[in-house]
Amino acid sequence: SSSSSPLMNPLAKFKELPFVSAPQRDLMLDLVSVLETRLASALLPCSLPPDVQYYQNQTGTAEASLYIRSGIPSSPVDFILGNWLHCKLPTGGTLNITSLSGYLKSLSDAPNLLFEVIQSSPTSFILILDLPPRKDLVLYPEYLKTFYEDTELDSHRQLLEKLAEVRPYFSSSLYIRAVVSPSAILVRIEAEAGETARAEEIIRDHVSPIAKEIMKVWLDLCACVEREVGEAEMLYLRKRDQIIKNKTIEIDLGSNFPRLFGQEVADRVLGVLREVYNA
């Protein structure tokens, strides 16, 4: 874990990723670096207040960092959001969540980006990796073809599921299952107890190349491309996106945040998130 004070350089706090293994940190930093290099001047600097870029609870059992960069007005990127969360569990274990997501504006209908690792022990992870669709794939088969079939996104899921340590993961939230694409990677990775090296090897040799490939598809086909979107469709996208953002806050943060960080910190962070999500 990191020895630097969170108050010394809050801007860099997200990129410290102090609580995860080296391969996990390397992967996240690689992804952020590719994103920021490729989008470069299309992104505004992170302007979050320092006490939202890094925050903790009073007893120091939970700490977290948030990193958001909004797109400039002419970019289809609404914002990119990275975060990590570390907390000690009452059971004695620790929980580490790291995530990176990308949201587009309603002037594009292309998919968003979602990458999340939920680690409940050094050998046990849940991995969520997807380009969540922005439209009903049943009603728009061409959209399914363009972003999911022609890109062969499912081949990555198939590769990963060949590993003995990998099993499909079913979120307890039906909403989350509904919001991801049919080629979403939703897996539980479990190396045998004590086999930390094997767990890290899976992240480095298997998860990492797949995450980079999927991020590349997002950049090539979604985040850096202009799509033709009519006025009615824009209203549809705005409505659907808004529901997704509200639900994400509700499910991911709404119930857990006050419990983990206390009401004051939770209100502060959720307030900033709601502003970004509703801009």
Our finding on whether 159 is near its own copies (CB under 8 A) is: no
- Window 120 to 149, contacts with its own copies (CB under 8 A): 136-139, 141, 144, 148-149
Count of residues of this chain found to bind its own copies when the rule CB under 8 A is applied? 25
Residue type, 177: R
CB 109 within 8 A of CB 227: yes
Q: Which long-range contacts (CB under 8 A, 24 or more apart) does 56-59 make?
A: 56/6, 56/261, 56/265, 57/260, 57/261, 57/262, 57/265, 58/262
Residues, the chain = 279
Rounded-to-integer distance, Cα 116 and Cα 257, Å: 17
Q: Tell the smallest beta-carbon distance from residue 239 to its own copies (Å).
A: 7
Q: Between 159 and 224, name the residue whose CB sits nearer to its own copies.
A: 159
Q: Between 104 and 179, name the residue whose CB sits nearer to its own copies.
A: 179
Our finding on whether 182 is near its own copies (CB under 8 A) is: yes
Rounded-to-integer distance, Cα 19 and Cα 105, Å: 32
Q: Tell the smallest beta-carbon distance from residue 171 to its own copies (Å).
A: 9
Alpha carbon 216 to its chain centroid, in Å, reads 15
Nearest Cα to 183, choosing from 205, 161, 208? 161
CB 99 within 8 A of CB 116: yes
Q: Tell the smallest beta-carbon distance from residue 131 to its own copies (Å).
A: 12
Q: Between 161 and 267, name the residue whose CB sits nearer to its own copies.
A: 161
| Phi-psi sector, 105: left (phi>0), alpha (psi -120 to 50), beta | beta
Q: Between 4 and 255, name the residue whose CB sits nearer to its own copies.
A: 255
Span interacting with its own copies, options 4-12, 32-40, 196-204, 237-245, rule CB under 8 A = 237-245
Our finding on whether 279 is near its own copies (CB under 8 A) is: no
* Binding residues for its own copies (CB under 8 A): 136-139, 141, 144, 148-149, 154, 157, 168, 170, 174-175, 177-179, 181-183, 239-240, 243-244, 247
